[in-house]
Structure 1
Amino acid sequence: KERLKEELRISVVDADTREPLNARLSFEVDGDYWAPEGVNEHGIRFTSIHKSKQQRFTVIYALITGPLRIPYPKGAESIKITASRGFEYISDSIEIDLEERSASAAIPIDRWSNLRDSGWAAIEEHLHYDRLNSADDRHWLAMLDADGLDAGHFMILKGGMVPGIWSRQFAFGEAGRSNDERQWLIPSQEYRASAKGHINLLGTSKIIEPYSTGGMGWPKVVENYPPLHDVLKEAQNQGGYAGVAHGGSLGKQPTAIADAVLGRVDFWEISNGFIYELDTWYRLMNCGYFLPPMAGTDLPNWPYRDAWQPFLGSIRTYVHKGGSTEFDAFKQAINRGRVFTSSGPLIDLEINGQPIGESINLAEPGFVRVTGNLRSPRPLREIELIRNGQPVDVSVLKQNSSGIHTWSIDTNLKIEESSWIALSGLGSRINVQNIDATAHTNAIRVIVNDEPIRSPETAREFIEALQGRKNFYREKGAYKTEHQRLQALEIFDRAIRELEKRL
């Protein structure tokens, strides 16, 4: 290793107010990515490690408490430093020639959006890191703030990165939550079944055992029991909110559709960045089952970031909770459906002046006015109006003002039958992850003549799929007793009966 020379002193400030900011910093030394070996008390150096996938990434944060001091390699000629703070500040870079033994710099970054002032909050819904001591929570709270987040769910689980239990939390329920004036840390759980899929249990008061089934993790529980339906119900009874993880895409024979039809799912996780699954969510809405979308990173999976990206919440959920800073306001906002997800661009939609998550009633078929926009300081690639899962051809106004790209739609859309409408968009390519930046609103429902939103064709497809999965668990499911098997099969029967009502 090269011997380190003198230090570099860095701070980040708001370009308008000159107030210091918590922010993420990325470094290039002589054109190559670099992470300093240490920081002083005014910074955080955090290395994310996924042991089994051998994924490792180090992030640096500058704090508002004073200048961050870091060493740099001997012989370096220049250093490029990029500061970022979530999606509502424009990341900016400076380059310093390292001719002196030490140098100082304050990096100003511009705020281009302030959703918090409009009642919105940003949630990192899916994290897997240990919180073993409440004294360390001040660091997590600072990291959330530096990445432009208001809340982070830290989910305990079993298996995957290591065989046993990991992402341990020092306590559950209110005793395990930490907060300051703005940010919340919430202990939660990802419960997993190798056949049935994964579910996220947010804000529960205690751990629901056995953590995982179907042979996942150690010690193994080989049975396909208890049903995820029962686990979701227990999470709801504890006052948490329970949802399907990874878009329902994991599991050999997933039960997510049945669980949603029976009312045991509060939200549908559509993205972890590296996973972006919309199909089943769309089809559930076509059958009249409306679940707010959520998104979170699933860190420490795929921790790599471009310099402009936040580390925590590189894919996140925005909820409109008004001015309340209480934890329950997050849950209430999700239940109301005032939700959108983003990994970069900000997105909005209104129909007849009504916001995301609302319902509009028409006495007869007619026109509604649909307005929406996609905004970002980085180039945009696509904006798409979606009705009942299908794109609608509309004109798009593309503008660029002071470096902010805005793509807007404003159209009168004819509604012949009860429908749901949402808006989605794509931003710039995220190079290090080789994926597109995305944004998606929750749906707005337009109800015509009090007729429910229905798709008999989709309902039949769901029934056929559930019959096949019921057969799988009847013939190949692992259960200790026949009573357990019959209990699991009865859940499919109930879901099928509910879907038959929608034919």
Structure 2
Amino acid sequence: MNTIQLSKLVSCVVLQLCCISLQAQNARLSLRILDDTGKETAARVQIKDNENNFYIAEDALIAGGDCDMSDEGAQLTDIESILKLFNKKIANPYFNSSQFYSDGSSSITQLPETVYIMAFKGSEFIVSIDTVTLIPDSITTHTIQLSRWTNMRNRNWYSADDHLHIPRPIPEMNPHISKMMQAEDIHVGNLLQSGKVKNFKMAEQYAFGSESIYEENGYLLASGQENPRTHILGHSISLGAEKALFNLEKYMVYRLIWEESVEYGGLNGFAHAWSDEAAGPSPEVGMAIVLPHDLMHFIEVLQFNRSDYRSWYDVLNLGFKVTPTAGTDYPCADQSIPGHERFYTKVDGDFTFENWLKGIEKGKTFVTTGPVLDFQVNGQEMGSELELKVGDSISVSGWVKFDTSADNLNFIEIIENGRAIKKISRVSTTDSLGFEFLHAVKSSGWLALRGYGDKIQENLYPFPAHLDILKATTNFHSAPIYLDILSKQNPETSATASSWLQRILDLKRMLEPQNLEFLAEKIMNPWHGVTEDVLLSSKETLIEDLDYAEQFFRGLIEGKE
């Protein structure tokens, strides 16, 4: 065989291989996803091949949000400008993969012969994992039947994400956003309009309160706000108020907004409580100022794959009944999976947004990245208050249940006034841990249940790096049950009040005339842009609130109720 013949033979072989490759990449998939009742259901889907290439359905649902913190904002004036913030592809930081949302029926083309499909629907459904062999130049139909490992809705517990920055300036966005929530099995999606001094239009909402409620297939959307928000005082959240609330002149006086929020039927709390003061934007200074006015209903203790309960424990030890919540801050800070951190609320009566808010106000919640739980004292549920006498023996009971294919639970703890009084490690491959024991109470305070473990399917080192802190990635915590013993104050109260008093005194020092210029430069940062004139217009009222808080904490130190 001469060189020319050999060259022709090689060319022919290469051409044949290319044709085979192109043929193999021309397979098509018709995908159906069914829920546990056999009905088509929205879900999040991942399709990849042997070379770790990911495929997105042509008819994938859109997903996205608004994190534009510029002074001008995203300028969402019509449907075209809104849709520029949405995409069919989801970059999942916990799997380092590309995924998409399906409404239950999807078409995918240009596929190789073998693909690997994962289907997700929140944390109550077992992740479906399938290997599918396709026929080139043909349409292969594949059906995924999702199955549950638990159904909390049947027990009147409803999941929620309290921190979603998804723009909804026109009602036409409702069906699109609702499908996202249904795919993640989030029963209440709280869409927070956010901003700063010069722009309160991030993730703009078309209505607030009852006019903002949208229901589809038993899933709710509702407007809320993350505002005011400053680096020095923390980010505040209001849920359920009948109007958007903004006070430019007194922007740094959170109490004024929160009083209005309560007047308009809202609940108030702080975001990002997983962050300490050194990391920011910590809510601890802001909480110290506003807490004495008893306007705080909840605190976001679980977010960004991390939990930190210290600030919340302090609030409880100061004598306030404040409910734990969780939220993702989607899609900001590269958090692209709504409901990755979520909380459940026990709803009495019909599932309405109003009844859901009442459940939070009553303290009937728990936060989680997956496991579900029950916690009782003397048969009373989370949020209850028991009147007791010193030395009374109480029955503490509960359980934790989890999906063993998703969570590797390590241990649970029962907490009294911030300290563990019992630890129970997992010692078998079962999918639950239960407990019941007697405990003698010595003072007023609170009890709660928490636990830690590791996510099995998620990457050990997710990207971006702030989602990986080498801490437990399976987290859950119940709301407290309160113990009231006449004349026996919580032993942690005085020391906690002393610590929080220092935050008040320090901010008062920062507001002294000789320090104002430095403080003004500090808070005029790109994220919040609190200008010097806003600082000065807020100063007098802020100092009045600081004086009130100082008197309050000094009273607690002295043992006053």
TM-score, normalised with respect to structure 1: 0.86
> 2:551 aligned to 492, 497, 500, which one?
497
Which residue number corresponds to residue 118 of structure 1? Answer: 155
For the residues of structure 2 that align with 1:289 and 1:51, how far apart are their CA atoms? 35
1:294 aligns with 2:314: no
* 2: CA distance, partners of 1:52 / 1:255: 21
Q: What is the alpha-carbon distance in structure 2 between the residues aligned to residue 56 and residue 181 of structure 1? A: 23
The verdict on how the C-alpha distance between 1:416 and 1:480 changes in structure 2, with shifts beyond 3 A counting, is closer
Structure with bigger helix share is 2
Structure number with higher strand proportion? 1
**Distance between the aligned counterparts of 1:26 and 1:51, measured in 2?**
28
**How big is the shift at 1:469?**
1.5
**For the residues of structure 2 that align with 1:260 and 1:442, how far apart are their CA atoms?**
18
User: Is the 1:397–1:409 Cα contact (8 Å) retained in structure 2?
Assistant: no
Question: In the TM superposition, what whole-angstrom CA distance separates every residue of 1:362-387 from its partner, at most 9, and x where no partner exists?
Answer: 22313222112222113212212111
Residue 354 (str. 1) matches residue 385 (str. 2): no
Cα deviation, 1:24-45, whole Å, max 9, x if unaligned, reads 2122222515141622xxx414
* 3-state SS in 1 of match to 2:398: strand
Does 2:54 correspond to 1:34?
yes
Counterpart in the other structure of 1:410: 436
Matching residue's letter, 2:41: L
1:8 Cα deviation after fit: 0.9
SS at match of 2:100: strand
Q: Which amino acid aligns with 2:214?
A: S
Query: Which amino acid counterpart does residue 392 of structure 1 have in structure 2?
Result: I
Aligned to 1:256: 287
For residues 379-419 of structure 1, what are the alpha-carbon distances to aligned partners after superposition, in whole Å with 9 as ceiling and x for unaligned? 21221211111112344565545xxx212222222222222
Q: What are the ranges of 5 or more consecutive residues in structure 1 without an aligned counterpart?
A: 211-220, 306-310
After the TM superposition, which residues 225-374 of structure 1 pair with which residues of structure 2 at under 5 Å, given as runs? 225-247=251-273, 249=276, 250-251=280-281, 254-303=285-334, 311-374=337-400
Which residue identity lines up with residue 46 of structure 1 in the other structure? A
Asked if 1:80 is matched to 2:80, the reply is no
Which stretch of the first structure deviates more once superposed, 166-175 or 292-301?
Answer: 166-175
Would you say the 8 A contact 1:394–1:409 is kept in 2?
Answer: no
Superposed displacement of residue 137, structure 1: 1.0
- Evaluate the alpha carbon distance shift between residue 418 and residue 18 of structure 1 in structure 2; reply closer, same or farther with a 3 A threshold: same
Counterpart-to-counterpart distance in 2, 1:270 and 1:451: 28
Distance across 2 between alignment mates of 1:357 and 1:33: 48
Write the distance in 2 (CA, Å) between the matches of 1:417 and 1:236: 32
Is 1:63–2:63 an aligned residue pair? no
CA distance in 2, matches of 1:350, 1:415: 15
Name the CA shift for 1:140/1:481 in 2 (closer, same or farther; >3 Å).
closer
Q: Structure 1 counterpart of 2:31, which letter?
A: I
* Matching residue's letter, 1:262: H
Distance 1:301 1:225, change over 3 A: closer
Check 1:481–1:85 CA distance in 2 against 1; reply closer, same or farther (3 A cut).
closer
What's the counterpart of residue 183 of structure 1? 219
Give the structure 1 partner of residue 35 of structure 2.
Answer: 14
Given the superposition, is the C-alpha separation of residues 38 and 304 from structure 1 closer, same or farther in structure 2, using an over 3 Å criterion?
farther
Counterpart CA distance in 1 for 2:168 and 2:536 is: 40
Larger of the two Rg values belongs to structure: 2
> Are 2:292 and 2:552, in contact at CA under 8 Å, matched by a contact in 1?
yes
Q: Which SS does the other structure have where 2:258 is aligned?
A: helix
Identity of aligned residues (%): 21
Question: Residues 370 and 399 of structure 1: is their aligned pair in 2 closer, same or farther, counting only changes over 3 Å?
Answer: farther
1:303 CA drift (Å): 4.5
CA contact (8 A) 2:253 2:538 kept: no
- 1:425–1:209 distance in 2 versus 1, CA, 3 Å: same
Distance 1:205 1:88 in 2: 32
Q: Structure 1 residue 133: deviation in Å?
A: 2.7
Q: Which of 494, 499, 505 is equivalent to 1:467?
A: 505
* Ranges in structure 2 where 5+ consecutive residues have no aligned partner: 1-20, 71-84, 92-97, 520-531
